[in-house]
Structure 1
Amino acid sequence: MARLPTGWCLATGPLPAGDAATPWLLGDQQVLIEADKRSTFTDHAYRIATADALRNWDDLQFVWQPDRDDLIVHKLQIVRGGETIDLLAQGLKLTVLRREKDFEQKTIDGLLTATAPIEDLRVGDIVRFSSTIVERSDVLAGNGEAIVDVAAKPAAIAQGSVRILWPRTLPVKWKAFGKGIAPVESGKGSYHILTQAQPIVKQDEMPQDAPIRFQRPPGLEFSTFPTWSDLSRTVAPLYATQGTIKEGGTLAAAVDGIAKANSNPKARAAAALALVQNEIRYLYNGLANGNYVPQAPEQTWTLRYGDCKAKTLLLLAVLDRLGVEAMPTLVHSTVGDALPDRLPTLAAFDHVIVQASIGGMDYWLDGTTAGTHVEDLADVPPFRHVLPLTTAGSELAALPLREPARPDVDLHIAYDQSAGTAFPPLFDLSFTMRGELAARLATLKEQATPEQLRDMAQGALGDFVNNGQIHTRSIEVDAAKGTTTIHASGIGNLRWIRDEPRPYLALDGLVSDFEIKADRTRAAWRNIPVSGGSPSLIVRSMSLKLPQRAGFVMEGDVQADMMIAGFALRRQARLAAGKLEKTETVWTSGSEVAVNQLPAVRAQVAAARQREFRLRAPDAYPTRVEEIAAAKKEKRLGPLLAAYQKAIDDDPEAANGYLNRAAFNIGIFEPKAAIADLTNAIEHEANAEIYRRRAGLHAQIGDFRTALADVEEALALDPGDETAFAQKVYLLTELKQYDDALALADEQMAGSKDKRGWVGLKAETLGKAGRAAEGATLLAEALVERPGDPGLLNNLCWLKGTRSFELESALKDCTRAIELSDESSAVLDSRALVFFRLGRMEEARADLDAALKISPSMPASLYMRGILRLRGDDRDGGQRDLALARLQNARIDAEYADYGIKP
């Protein structure tokens, strides 16, 4: 049993009152540092303030490491109504369990847990318990260290403190982290004492993009190591390799086989690392002082498992036998950037790797990862800082920034858009990974079902093809190259922008989405740099087969080589023989950005965006509807429809394939084919949206009753669907059930916050019911409440134009709406109709041309311009416009006939 100094535990006064919001009435912790022995005393009191707290109470648990720790339970009490019930004195026995709670994470820690089942616990009781854990570590060679967390508000502790003691003769250094920590130093007898009350003040909120060292929880550190070099020198003997490989054994034979097969030191190191990574499975063993001391290489080789320490020592022994200079190196897997601000302690690290020197270059080798290839050997891990362990002692060192020899991810997509820019392209994609991710994917290939592979490929790769649909996929493992590649084929999506005279495709993957969002406006944040993120190298390349039409050109930074905020951004592109080829490389170095550099970085990004890489279509390129009409005439859409069929066949029980093909058929103006696909989709996955979409298609072909039945189904599934109610009003109107349509519009209008849409719909219904003047009055009243609303003004102009009344005021309404609209093509179309009614054909034609310049495929404007062209002796042009309008809207002749307008 451990011996503790008499009276070293802090005496605590009366418990504070507390309340339900702060159930922890007391939280005291005291740490006694005595060279390589550390004793930690804790004293807690918890109030069972509510019935819910009682229901959720768990038995007390005390956890310790039996091979190097002693557990002393001092106190187990219930304080009830001023009376103290001593459970230990009453004979409460603790049950000791070995739980291995992290076994599934390949960890055996050997921890024991003593549980204390408390009987007759009641609401209002206070549970008081205290214990001490005495820890010893021969590894520290007489040195002491401690890391003590300090609770900060809003931690639910009414009162607490941390107190650290050490003999005055022990050279302990200490350091505090966190806002509001101001420990009081004192002395008692032969001990130096540091005391800090808790909880301390609430810590400042940190920006999410702050380096991890700025996000460290508050606490105190203590160490007797004078320098990092002393720590390095102390721990280094644990990794001595001399005599650790038995001559004539199987391990020696395996190493000698590597030497015989490889004369190059780098190749030998790669083979040694592969041996440790592939032949030895990972299993953390914290038993028998194993949290610091590695197991022997021969034992690791025999057991065929080991943790980072065991794998590191094995790799060191193998490299030593191969004549490769190497040493163990301590790292922290997640907070390595904070190490320079910390005191030298062994607890500052959670991982150990090998640092090898080959040909004057340093290599960092991690035996716990997988899939490292000889080409990747020089990659620098993301640990930021390392502590080499040498018998002479080494200081903490920063890892260099070094671009990997091979990309972590290499993505190539070959698009075929030869059918036209109006259509989704076919694609073949390859997604190549290396390293640990490649190894995991290789395992997945062996274990995944075809269904799992399909879902994984669509989920992982769908974004790369703009949510396109994959119909074929496979996984290829190249052991020689250390890579795994997902291959996929399908039909994707490239969005050509048509808001300029010549359509263009934005293809800048370097700066289009590049953004430094860092917020340093708070005074407390002004000196916090922006984290550079995890280092990575990504290569994205594409090829794009274009329609057979000359004149496509590249714009912007065709060739680029920029360094912005620690990101190296490079592009190479060429356009030849109707095919674009482009490669973009993004190396994230991980370097931080200082706050004073942010303005310059943002200026760099803004300037680069002015040179965004684009592919521009030729002059006089067909409009979207012209391209669709030509492709249908020339029967160029067969391969696309075949791809959609493959996607359906790939997963025939899923609705998604039918929905995607339905969207394509809608886009090429084939409503009947789309209806068939939506019908199939409903059989697999019925929902309100699909019924609404099918209703709209039935309406397009004039089947209003079937459309109404679909809308009723949609409303049955989603009774609050406003879009479906609007469809119902429209369909009732087309079925000449005007009273029902108007009643429904009134009902919806009454419950709507924004009534504008319902006002416009009701006005349109009144117009079709022969009550256009009432519709105009309704719109005028709405404009009194929202004067200058361009939508309402356009509705009023359109109603007057289609029903041919108050035409002069209609002109004023439309003109005013044009002045107020951000997108005026619809209003220009309305005003053109009014000019047509007034016989002012030149002005009508000018408005139609202007509308079609903004929206080149708008069917209403094409139809009216076709009529004007026919009347102006441009028969070919008129027929062409009418054909394009009819292609998009099979009922457009009937709709305009209702207005009294015919070609």
Structure 2
Amino acid sequence: MRVGFFLATAASIVIAGPAIAGETVRFEKAPEWVVPVDFDTAVAKKEEIVIFDRQLRLEDGVVQRYTDVAYDIRNADVLSKLGTLQFGWLPDKGDLILHRLEIVRDGKAIDLIAEGVQPEVIRRETELERRTVNGALTALFKVPGIKVGDILRFSSSTTSRDQALAGAMQATEGLTPKPTRLGFGRLRMSWPSDSGVHYAMLGQAPDPTVVDRNGYRTVELILPIDKVEEMPEDAPARFRVRPAVMTGTFATWSDVASVMAPHYVTEGSIPAGTPLAAEVERIRDATDDPLERAALALRSVQDEINYLMNGMDGGNYLPQSPVETWTLRYGDCKAKTLLLLAMLRALDIEAEAAMVNSQDGDAVSVWQPLPGAFDHVLVKATIDGTDYWLDGTSAGTRIETMWEVPNFAYALPIRESGSQLIKLEQRWPKVADRTYRIVYDFSRGVDLPALYDIEVETRGVLAARMAARATETDRKTILGHAQKYLEDVFESVVYDAAYSYDPETGIAKLNAKGILVEPFGIERDVATHTIYTATTNWVFDPDRGRAAWRDIPYRTGGPMTSAEEVIFMLPDGGKGAGLTGTGNLEEQVVAGTRFKRDLVFDGSSVMVKDWSSYVPSEIAAADIPAAKAAMRTLSSADPSIRITDPRRYWELDDAELAQRMKGLIEPTDTLVKLLPDEAGYYQFRSALYSLGRDYKSALADIDKAIAIAGDADAYDSRAEVLRQAGRLDEAAEAARMAYELKGDLASAASYAGALALAGRDEEGLAVLDAIDVSGDELSEIAQVFAEIAGSTDRNEEAWKKLEDALAERPGDELLLNSQCWFVGTWNFRIDDGEQLCDKAVKAGNYSAAVLDSRALVFHRLGREDDALEDLEAALKKAPGQAASLYLRGIIRLGRGEPDGKKDIEHALRLSPDIATRYRRYGITAPKR
């Protein structure tokens, strides 16, 4: 957590001297230095926000912030939001003063303060979820009698003095840009001309009007300012600074450093005989190595002290003492830093506190020197000439990860003599933040799910996050966490998982086993698995196309280092397997990222060890094109496993397929036993049973899923299992249930198709007749209607629907294919079939589906050679297209070729209902 150091940069930040304690709201007139607004002119602009006027006075160590706001209550929504007003302030630093609270109705003001409206003052810690306590008070004013058409106007001031800054002052105000519309908007900041206040404009802020009069300097801007030019998200933070004005009595960064130095004095802060002194001696006795001592001290502060930001009683900049922090066992970044600093110095390690900005570190380089430029503080330790940046609010740091340099860009060492900003020099990490060790078992085949065994090893902050899981004992919860974590690695089902954490090494591990659902992509007769590891699948494509962006560099993130050690066990002992792309990568840096890869292919398995690492750095705009080209070259050569002519699951007989599926179903049995009330696991196991052609078990599981959840997807799955099992009437009934639950066109089409397959064509058409469709759905319904109507006396009507749809979408490949298929399946207008199908084939770019349709037409015409030519082409594109296998088998058997029997057998394994479908078309396989 970083919020402990600095409470608010865009609100008032004020400084030093005795506290102005104000726990009640004061009611006073606006200060004399406030310049009034021409209210009538603002109203005449007819904007919803009538006035937004903010004026600041920096004087005598106090910043007073005056705000005048008026809203036109135009609707009930605005009325609801403004029915209760909230004003917040920090009572240990100053007061809340209400100057005006009025309703303007029909041009007349109703003074609610004069009518006695009083606030309810409450203390509520709104940042507790971020472990922050700041003591803020909120005054709630309920606005009586307000209604739509009124203008609500309220003016208030807060005063603020920071006890830590010895009378110095600072304030930062953002500038509202267009397209925000204001009747009148202004930011006005003033201070005594001789007070040493400096100001700077940030981001795309315009030049202000500056006036010196009566001993005061005034800086003024009219709001809104011009629209801000959008900056690329990957630009350094200094280019993305929002328009603002920064003011303060600090002339240099050295002034900032020296004013903070008294709060980080450690001399005498660890009294002898205290528990903290004993902790220091424990570390001293443990090792003589200063680096190891530093690591042990940091571990104590990170692990033993809980984070809690305390902003009360001047706590924005004032840390509690080391002994207090050690005793209380909590503290914010200031307290943790001072504790660590004291311990390191007691251990004779050179160290100093340093302020950083954890969110916009690079932007500090263009900001006005102010304490408010920083939101965090840590320790800079120098050991054997090397700087180490030690963050007590981080977690899991050990000696191996201390080497990493955080992404803060700049730091300001806190020294009594003052200091300047220093740049954090990055260096490549020595160990991986995260290491994946994975074994993928693809041995069952390219079509079947794979098993995997993974170990995720993490260090540093990543390990600290994972460590909390190691204390979990509920197995269901552990599996849930593992499933969620691994979603970013691959799509899978986790069936076993365990977390562990070693506090000595700071290493956390997740060990898990699971089922990888889609291990290979298959096109034609080639199966491909893209190797996704630490060095693959990188994209570097910064957009610098806009003229305003052309000179903006790219900023990398990090530090982050990933390593992977992966083994791929290949199907069928690696038969037909090979690699494409680049295997080994010599260490190289591309687009700010360092890559290294070693790959070994031994014929039956592939082994990869690789490493990718990136640290915060900048790539100059002029170098971005070359970096893009280099990354494209690297990524285009990402390795892939390529298996030519692999054995497919439909080539396996029932016994062999069942044996291969056994190793997949057994892990799922574990999940079902562990989570018997989870319908999803029954559905998943049902799908595995179906893939293994065990339809009885598949149906039993899907029925259990329906008993638990009974959703439409489960009924869809039941219909599919029953269809594969040949129980067609029951399949139609399950499809009906899904349709009733979903009620959409897709489920209606499925139900109608199931009825037709069960021989109930007219009922199927009746389902479609009852659907009211329009637009694109007319095309879809025409195709489904044609598939069913050909066996009825409504075939001319079906043809007309296809023609009408084509008239709306001429050249549509799906509709043209439907026409071709309609001609072939129902032997309808067969003499026109070749011409129609040629048109469909060209529109469909010779897809496997449309080639299959034309083959059926050729078969009807008795042109078996032409049919076989199309079928061969279709099966090269889609070897698992059951319709093409079935028709090829029919033609081959008709010619007395024994391979036809194998085609029929494979088609039935792919689609058990294929014979029933073709019988509907009047086509049956010869018995040979």
Q: TM-score range by the shorter chain?
A: over 0.9
Q: After superposition, give the CA deviation of every residue in 1:822-844 in whole Å (9 maximum; x if it has no partner).
A: 35222222333333344433333
| Residues 21 and 156 in structure 1, CA contact (< 8 A), matched pair in contact too | no
| Residues 500 and 509 in structure 2, CA contact (< 8 A), matched pair in contact too | yes
C-alpha change, 1:280 and 1:739, in structure 2 (3 Å) is closer
Q: CA deviation at 1:90?
A: 5.4
Query: What is the rounded CA distance, in whole Å, between the counterparts of 2:91 and 2:768 in structure 1?
Result: 77
Q: SS at 1:140's partner residue?
A: coil
| Matching residue of 1:564 | 590
Name the structure, 1 or 2, with higher relative contact order (CA <8 Å, separation 6+): 2
| Matching residue of 1:308 | 333
- What letter corresponds to residue 384 of structure 2 in structure 1? G
Alignment of 1:790 with 2:803, yes or no, is no
Alignment of 1:826 with 2:846, yes or no, is no
Alignment of 1:392 with 2:414, yes or no, is no
- When structure 1 is superposed on structure 2, of 768-777 and 339-348 the one drifting more is 768-777
| Matching residue of 1:666 | 690
- When structure 1 is superposed on structure 2, of 699-708 and 742-751 the one drifting more is 742-751
| Residues 16 and 25 in structure 1, CA contact (< 8 A), matched pair in contact too | no
- What letter corresponds to residue 475 of structure 1 in structure 2? Y
Query: What is the rounded CA distance, in whole Å, between the counterparts of 2:595 and 2:758 in structure 1?
Result: 60
| Matching residue of 2:262 | 237
| Residues 472 and 650 in structure 1, CA contact (< 8 A), matched pair in contact too | no
Moved over 6 A (4+): 1-6
Q: SS at 1:864's partner residue?
A: helix
Query: What is the rounded CA distance, in whole Å, between the counterparts of 1:115 and 1:791 in structure 2?
Result: 64
Q: SS at 2:780's partner residue?
A: helix
| Matching residue of 2:570 | 546
- When structure 1 is superposed on structure 2, of 453-462 and 69-78 the one drifting more is 69-78
Alignment of 1:840 with 2:866, yes or no, is no
Query: What is the rounded CA distance, in whole Å, between the counterparts of 2:755 and 2:121 in structure 1?
Result: 76
Q: SS at 1:26's partner residue?
A: strand
| Matching residue of 2:288 | 263
| Matching residue of 2:509 | 485
C-alpha change, 1:69 and 1:101, in structure 2 (3 Å) is same
Q: CA deviation at 1:795?
A: 3.0
C-alpha change, 1:785 and 1:81, in structure 2 (3 Å) is closer
| Matching residue of 1:702 | 726
| Residues 75 and 88 in structure 1, CA contact (< 8 A), matched pair in contact too | yes
- What letter corresponds to residue 41 of structure 1 in structure 2? Y
Give the alignment of 1:410-559 within 5 angstroms: 410-446=435-471, 449-466=474-491, 468-509=492-533, 513-549=537-573, 550-559=575-584
Query: What is the rounded CA distance, in whole Å, between the counterparts of 1:166 and 1:248 in structure 2?
Result: 51
C-alpha change, 1:802 and 1:285, in structure 2 (3 Å) is closer
Q: After superposition, give the CA deviation of every residue in 1:153-203 in whole Å (9 maximum; x if it has no partner).
A: 344642131211122223333211244633111122111111111222332
Query: What is the rounded CA distance, in whole Å, between the counterparts of 2:508 and 2:191 in structure 1?
Result: 55
Q: After superposition, give the CA deviation of every residue in 1:774-809 in whole Å (9 maximum; x if it has no partner).
A: 655654565455444433333333333344465453
Q: CA deviation at 1:883?
A: 1.6
Aligned equivalent of 2:226, options 195, 201, 204: 201
Q: SS at 2:595's partner residue?
A: strand
Q: CA deviation at 1:515?
A: 2.8
- What letter corresponds to residue 915 of structure 2 in structure 1? D
Q: CA deviation at 1:316?
A: 0.7
- What letter corresponds to residue 261 of structure 1 in structure 2? A
| Matching residue of 1:378 | 403
| Matching residue of 1:887 | 909
Alignment of 1:163 with 2:185, yes or no, is no
Query: What is the rounded CA distance, in whole Å, between the counterparts of 1:6 and 1:828 in structure 2?
Result: 86
- What letter corresponds to residue 473 of structure 1 in structure 2? A
Q: CA deviation at 1:474?
A: 1.4
Query: What is the rounded CA distance, in whole Å, between the counterparts of 1:61 and 1:776 in structure 2?
Result: 69
- What letter corresponds to residue 699 of structure 1 in structure 2? R
- What letter corresponds to residue 631 of structure 2 in structure 1? V
Query: What is the rounded CA distance, in whole Å, between the counterparts of 2:168 and 2:697 in structure 1?
Result: 80
Query: What is the rounded CA distance, in whole Å, between the counterparts of 1:94 and 1:135 in structure 2?
Result: 21
Aligned equivalent of 2:89, options 64, 69, 75: 64
Give the alignment of 1:283-322 within 5 angstroms: 283-322=308-347
Q: SS at 2:259's partner residue?
A: helix
C-alpha change, 1:728 and 1:524, in structure 2 (3 Å) is same
TM-score, with length taken from structure 1: 0.92
Aligned equivalent of 1:730, options 753, 773, 798: 753
Query: What is the rounded CA distance, in whole Å, between the counterparts of 1:596 and 1:690 in structure 2?
Result: 56
| Residues 163 and 193 in structure 1, CA contact (< 8 A), matched pair in contact too | yes
Query: What is the rounded CA distance, in whole Å, between the counterparts of 2:98 and 2:860 in structure 1?
Result: 97
Q: After superposition, give the CA deviation of every residue in 1:180-233 in whole Å (9 maximum; x if it has no partner).
A: 633111122111111111222332334444444333332101233232123223
Q: SS at 1:663's partner residue?
A: helix
C-alpha change, 1:679 and 1:178, in structure 2 (3 Å) is same
Alignment of 1:177 with 2:202, yes or no, is yes
Query: What is the rounded CA distance, in whole Å, between the counterparts of 1:409 and 1:162 in structure 2?
Result: 48
| Residues 76 and 88 in structure 1, CA contact (< 8 A), matched pair in contact too | yes
Q: SS at 2:156's partner residue?
A: strand
Query: What is the rounded CA distance, in whole Å, between the counterparts of 1:861 and 1:279 in structure 2?
Result: 69
- What letter corresponds to residue 710 of structure 1 in structure 2? A
Query: What is the rounded CA distance, in whole Å, between the counterparts of 1:20 and 1:641 in structure 2?
Result: 72
| Residues 407 and 557 in structure 2, CA contact (< 8 A), matched pair in contact too | no
Q: Aligned residues, how many?
A: 898
| Matching residue of 2:611 | 585
Alignment of 1:651 with 2:675, yes or no, is yes
| Matching residue of 2:879 | 856
Q: After superposition, give the CA deviation of every residue in 1:57-77 in whole Å (9 maximum; x if it has no partner).
A: 354444333333244444444
Query: What is the rounded CA distance, in whole Å, between the counterparts of 2:263 and 2:430 in structure 1?
Result: 33
C-alpha change, 1:443 and 1:794, in structure 2 (3 Å) is closer
C-alpha change, 1:96 and 1:716, in structure 2 (3 Å) is closer
Q: SS at 1:268's partner residue?
A: helix
Q: SS at 2:568's partner residue?
A: strand
- What letter corresponds to residue 709 of structure 1 in structure 2? E
Query: What is the rounded CA distance, in whole Å, between the counterparts of 2:787 and 2:624 in structure 1?
Result: 54
- When structure 1 is superposed on structure 2, of 308-317 and 451-460 the one drifting more is 451-460
| Residues 527 and 595 in structure 1, CA contact (< 8 A), matched pair in contact too | yes
- When structure 1 is superposed on structure 2, of 741-750 and 140-149 the one drifting more is 741-750
Q: SS at 1:464's partner residue?
A: coil
Query: What is the rounded CA distance, in whole Å, between the counterparts of 1:781 and 1:75 in structure 2?
Result: 71
C-alpha change, 1:355 and 1:680, in structure 2 (3 Å) is same
C-alpha change, 1:512 and 1:838, in structure 2 (3 Å) is farther
- What letter corresponds to residue 37 of structure 1 in structure 2? V
C-alpha change, 1:34 and 1:748, in structure 2 (3 Å) is same
Q: SS at 1:755's partner residue?
A: helix
- The root-mean-square deviation of aligned C-alpha atoms, in Å, is 3.0
Aligned equivalent of 1:714, options 728, 738, 756: 738
C-alpha change, 1:190 and 1:773, in structure 2 (3 Å) is closer
Q: CA deviation at 1:733?
A: 2.8
TM-score, with length taken from structure 2: 0.90
| Residues 669 and 888 in structure 1, CA contact (< 8 A), matched pair in contact too | no
| Matching residue of 2:900 | 878
C-alpha change, 1:828 and 1:512, in structure 2 (3 Å) is farther
Q: CA deviation at 1:329?
A: 0.4
| Residues 654 and 693 in structure 2, CA contact (< 8 A), matched pair in contact too | no
| Residues 78 and 128 in structure 1, CA contact (< 8 A), matched pair in contact too | yes
- What letter corresponds to residue 474 of structure 1 in structure 2? A
C-alpha change, 1:598 and 1:670, in structure 2 (3 Å) is farther
Q: After superposition, give the CA deviation of every residue in 1:639-675 in whole Å (9 maximum; x if it has no partner).
A: 1121222222221111111121222233344444433
Q: After superposition, give the CA deviation of every residue in 1:25-52 in whole Å (9 maximum; x if it has no partner).
A: 3222222223643232333334444444
Q: CA deviation at 1:266?
A: 0.6
| Residues 490 and 647 in structure 1, CA contact (< 8 A), matched pair in contact too | no
| Residues 379 and 389 in structure 2, CA contact (< 8 A), matched pair in contact too | yes
- When structure 1 is superposed on structure 2, of 472-481 and 97-106 the one drifting more is 97-106
Q: SS at 2:598's partner residue?
A: strand
Where structure 2 has 5 or more consecutive residues not aligned to the other structure, the ranges are 1-19, 22-27
Give the alignment of 1:5-154 within 5 angstroms: 7-16=32-41, 18=43, 22-34=47-59, 36-57=61-82, 59-89=84-114, 93-137=118-162, 139-154=164-179
C-alpha change, 1:487 and 1:18, in structure 2 (3 Å) is farther
